[in-house]
Amino acid sequence: MLNTDIAMGLARVTEAAALCSAKFMGRGDKIAADQAAVDGMEKAFTMMPVRGTVVIGEGELDNAPMLYIGQKVGIGEENMPEMDIAVDPLDGTVLIAKGLPNAIAVVAMGPRGSLFHAPDMYMKKIAVGPGAKGAIDINKSPKENILNVAKALNKDVTELTVIVQERERHDYIVSAAREVGARVKLFGEGDVAAAIACGFENTGVDILMGTGGAPEGVIAAAAIKCMGGEMQAKLEPHTEEEKQRCIKMGIEDVTKTLFIDDLVKSDDVYFAATGITDCDLLKGVLFSKNDWAVTHTVVMRAKTGTVRFVEAHHDLNKSSLVVK
């Protein structure tokens, strides 16, 4: 099995989700957009040369008819590798409903047992690209982390950009960043896209800080690992029920600092993302006349450090990726 077959297969998976959901951009129906992404992604997985198990998906079997946790995906032949798969067919449902930037389709994949089985709860996160690897500590204050990252990148702190989700719970991060003179970039939804932006210098984003979904955190960690960056995280269960769910999933110490090798245990991990609406890194789906569409995708593999940017032109009348 060629690894390029797997990498390009993942690109087709996220392309399918993006193509199907992009037609709902700005139409105010986030549920329909999400369902279209799920439909497209599931169909594309039937062509993937793996024996895959969804470990992070749309929810439990009772709540998600497709791409549910535990679902088997891929061609599934005996000679094919067994893989853990984490999916978010549409990261940014509100964004696409409103026609806003940063909606993407994402998939992470690694050998069986390699991806952290994150419960559906909040997770505190901090992430940087390879230039600031070793400079972050989630247990230190935002001010300390910002100053240490600026030093590692050989930047004046006034040149450093911190990306933070615009939520009241993050006011302390924004205040600390402004206090030391750092630039702040706020975003509304889509923290996977925000995390990916940290790994590429041309996005102008240097560090992600804040609390968001734990499943999205694992997917982001796969991307950061592929790029040679660093991410740390801590689960933040808010109820006794959430604490018990952690224990049930084998997480005995819910206060433990999770390093990138805890979130993604293998170096042989893959990541793919396709822009649905325009992002810092990727252009969104562009529809042109005569039923053609253009997608922009990034595909990465940690083991080789390979990062591919794929611009694909699709004849929608012939494409096997589009769910009619």
Please state, in angstroms and rounded to a whole number, the distance separating the CA atoms of residues 148 and 136.
7
Task: List, in order, residues 6 or more apart from 9 with CB less than 8 Å away.
Answer: 47, 48, 49, 50
| Residues annotated in a binding site | 34, 58, 88, 91, 216
Please state, in angstroms and rounded to a whole number, the distance separating the CA atoms of residues 199 and 229.
6
| Residues annotated in a binding site for Mn(2+) | 34, 58, 88, 91, 216
3-state secondary structure the chain: CCHHHHHHHHHHHHHHHHHHHHCCCCCCCHHHHHHHHHHHHHHHHCCCCCEEEEEECCCCCCCCCCCCCCCEECCCCCCCCEEEEEEEEEECHHHHHHCCCCCEEEEEEEECCCECCCCCCEEEEEEECHHHCCCCCCCCCHHHHHHHHHHHCCCCHHHCEEEEECCHHHHHHHHHHHHHCCEEEEECCCHHHHHHHCCCHHHCCCEEEEEEEHHHHHHHHHHHHHCCCEEEEEEECCCHHHHHHHHHCCCCCCCCCEEHHHHECCCCCEEEEEECCCCCCCCCCEEECCCEEEEEEEEEECCCCEEEEEEEEEECCCCCCCCC
Q: Which two tokens stand for residue 293?
A: 């569409």
Please state, in angstroms and rounded to a whole number, the distance separating the CA atoms of residues 145 and 60.
36
Query: Could you give the count of Cα atoms lying within 13 Å of 255 in the half-sphere of its Cβ?
Result: 1
